[in-house]
Every structure is written in structure tokens, then in C-alpha cells.
């Protein structure tokens, strides 16, 4: 591999975390991971009752996948509608850019979730938090807005809280759903793990959620691949989006083709992040002894992929023979259908 070629691997879970009351976060923007120009990601953990305080993101939409625990979110849209949702492992949420929201772990075990943002320049360290907002304006302005006295404003946090340790809400109180006109039929939640997967017998499975299934998610598509030992997500590329990968389980080899014989091959394990630029040819192979599980995000609301086997099988025989300069013996072994995942 040329020294001038980029690395498409980042060891996210080995990064020193940001910690505070009840929470841990590790993020990778283009600053940390230079190849990841179009997508940023965060691995966040919250202890029971802990929350990522009320905040919003000015330059990116947020897509999330829950790995562990039970989460509660609230989100407000520009029309003033407030939505409250509960999430379990395998569920997805999406908050458009600028929508105010809060994340809380509401079960009796730690929550772990992966956040994907449709902007490589996004940083979780530079979002707009409510405590930072209120403590930055003149006290009399904060007092007038909140309906309290200036002296009472002084009792509020005087800097950004970021993580806050709250109480685990009682299940007998509806997980603490707020009183008032709150919609419980939310457009912000999608149960990805409940989806019937695409199955390649002996090879693996794929679940994918696009804007077609999850209408509010206009800028991010997500998918979860499970690949059996030795299995290969075949050579392919995505015409419409960059690809950001979080390796949940197992070991893998990922190769990225950048044209003109420029090729990068790297090894991945659980907790690592991978990236593939839009249009670059690539593959993912399970090199371990257990099932490989990979969460993948794309910075587009639609999923588009072109598999090498599909391309080859759709071309006339004589054209392929001439292109590769081979006879029938080799050509007959070429794929005749789309393979997708090769056992």
C-alpha cells in the first residue's frame, strides 16, 4: 500500500472517552478520521437514569442504532410538536438537523448506542446544549424566559452540563411520559431488528432502512449486515453515498479500490470504524470464527448498490470474453446471477 493512500480504519472504541456524570462518549469526525469526509460517528454509553441533556445540532442530522439497554428520547420539531419514544436494542431513531432532543437511559442496565451524522465536520463536543444556552445569556433574560427570579437563575448550572444523572422513571408512570399534548405515534422511531431480513442461505443477512420505510430519515440510510465465517460481501460500490461502518462483532478484512491500481486493505475488529468514499469499489470479508455483525450508515436517504456479480451476469458472453481475454473454461465459472454475499 502506498504511503500516500489514506487509511479507511479508525479504532473508535480505543479512543480516550469524554466522561461526565453517568455518561461516556467517543466521537470520530473528519478531524480524527481524515478519510471520513462525509459522515461522522459517535459511540455513547449512558448509565441508568443518565441523560445526554437537551440539545440540538446545527450542522447535521442524527441517526442512531441502539446496541444495548432501553432508551427514552424526546424531540421537538419547528411546528412545536413534541414526540416521546422508547427504544430497545435494534431500534433506530432519526432527528433532522436543528431539532431539539434529549437522550436518556431508562432501564436497569447501561445503554450503548451508535450515532451517525450526515456531516464529516460534525463534532459532538460542539453542539448547542440547553444549560450552555441559558447560562450564556444575561441572567435577567434567562429569568424572564423561564418565569423565575434572577436569584433563582443563579441556582441553575452556570456552564454546560452535557451529561446529567437523573432518576430511572417508573414503568408504572408510563416511563415518565410528560403530561400534556404529546404524540405517542412518532415519526422518529423505526424498529429495524423487527424487519424481515434479506437472507443468503449459509452466507448472511441484511436489514436496511431507507427513507422509503422511515420517511423522516431523508439524509441517512442504515443497514445491519450479518456475515457467516468465511463469507464475503462481494465486490460492489455505492453510486449515491459514502459508507460509514461500525463493527459490532467479529473480525473482518475490508478492501477499498480507488482506481488506477490504488487499493487499501485493512483488518477490523469489534469497536473499529471503517469508511468508503462514494463510488469506490470495496468488499467486506469475515475473517474470524464467529458471525460478523456490521452496522453501516450512508449519507443518503436511498440505498443504491451495484454488485460486481450483477454487472458481470448482465453482459453478453462474447463481450465478457473479449474484455477479459479468456475462453469458455474460465468464463463459464463467472457469476450468472447476483451473489450479494458469497459463502
Q: Which residues are catalytic?
A: 52, 55, 57, 62, 101, 124
Q: How many residues can be counted in the chain?
A: 343
Q: Under the phi-then-psi rule, with left for phi > 0, alpha for psi from -120 to 50, and beta for the rest, what region is 30?
A: alpha
| Coil, strand or helix at 85 | strand
Give, for 133, the enclosing helix (H) or strand (E): helix 130-136
Residue linked to cell 440510510: 221
| Coil, strand or helix at 33 | coil
Burial 178-191 (b: 16+ CB within 10 A, else e): eeeeeeeebbbbbe
| Coil, strand or helix at 225 | strand
| Coil, strand or helix at 40 | strand
User: What does the CA dihedral 10, 11, 14, 19 come to, rounded to 10 degrees?
Assistant: 50
- Residue 73: CB atoms within 10 A of its CB come to 22
Asked if residue 234 lies in contact with residue 286, where contact means CB atoms within 8 angstroms, the answer is no
Interatomic CA distance for residues 85 and 182, integer angstroms: 10
Nine cell digits for residue 118: 450526515
CA distances in angstroms from 39 to 115, 130, 163, 274, 324, listed in the order given: 11, 25, 24, 11, 36
**Cα angle 160-116-20, degrees, rounded to a multiple of 5:** 30
Residue linked to cell 463459464: 332
Interatomic CA distance for residues 65 and 220, integer angstroms: 12
Amino acid at each position: 500500500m502506498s504511503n500516500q493512500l489514506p487509511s479507511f480504519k479508525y479504532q473508535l472504541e480505543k479512543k480516550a472517552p469524554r466522561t461526565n456524570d453517568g455518561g461516556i462518549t467517543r466521537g470520530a469526525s473528519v478531524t480524527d478520521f481524515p478519510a471520513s469526509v462525509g459522515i461522522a460517528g459517535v459511540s455513547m454509553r449512558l448509565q441508568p437514569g443518565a441523560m445526554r441533556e437537551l440539545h440540538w445540532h446545527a450542522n447535521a442530522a442524527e441517526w442512531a442504532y441502539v446496541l444495548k439497554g432501553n432508551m427514552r428520547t424526546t424531540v421537538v420539531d419547528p411546528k412545536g410538536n413534541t414526540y416521546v419514544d422508547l427504544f430497545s436494542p435494534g431500534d433506530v431513531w432519526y432527528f433532522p438537523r436543528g431539532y431539539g432532543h434529549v437522550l436518556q437511559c431508562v432501564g436497569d442496565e447501561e445503554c450503548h448506542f451508535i450515532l451517525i451524522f450526515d456531516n464529516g465536520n460534525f463534532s459532538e463536543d460542539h453542539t448547542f446544549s440547553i444549560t450552555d444556552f441559558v447560562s450564556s445569556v444575561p441572567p435577567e433574560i434567562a429569568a424572564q424566559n423561564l418565569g423565575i427570579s434572577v436569584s433563582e437563575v443563579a441556582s441553575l448550572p452556570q456552564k454546560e452540563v452535557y451529561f446529567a444523572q437523573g432518576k430511572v422513571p417508573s414503568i408504572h408512570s408510563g416511563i415518565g411520559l410528560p403530561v400534556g399534548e404529546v404524540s405517542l405515534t412518532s415519526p422518529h422511531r423505526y424498529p429495524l431488528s423487527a424487519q424481515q431480513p434479506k437472507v443468503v442461505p449459509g452466507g448472511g443477512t441484511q436489514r436496511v432502512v431507507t427513507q422509503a420505510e422511515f420517511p423522516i430519515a431523508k439524509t441517512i440510510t442504515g443497514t445491519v449486515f450479518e456475515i457467516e465465517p468465511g463469507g464475503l460481501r462481494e465486490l460492489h460500490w455505492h453510486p449515491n453515498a459514502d459508507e460509514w461502518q461500525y463493527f459490532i462483532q467479529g473480525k473482518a478484512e475490508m478492501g477499498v479500490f480507488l482506481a488506477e491500481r490504488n487499493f487499501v486493505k485493512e483488518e477490523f475488529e469489534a469497536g473499529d470504524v471503517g469508511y468508503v468514499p462514494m463510488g469506490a469499489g470495496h468488499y467486506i470479508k469475515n475473517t474470524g470464527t464467529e458471525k460478523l455483525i456490521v452496522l453501516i450508515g450512508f449519507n443518503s436517504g436511498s440505498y443504491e448498490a451495484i454488485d460486481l456479480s450483477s454487472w458481470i451476469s448482465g453482459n453478453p458472453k462474447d463481450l465478457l470474453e473479449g474484455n477479459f481475454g479468456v475462453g469458455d473454461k474460465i468464463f463459464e465459472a463467472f457469476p450468472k446471477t447476483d451473489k450479494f454475499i458469497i459463502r
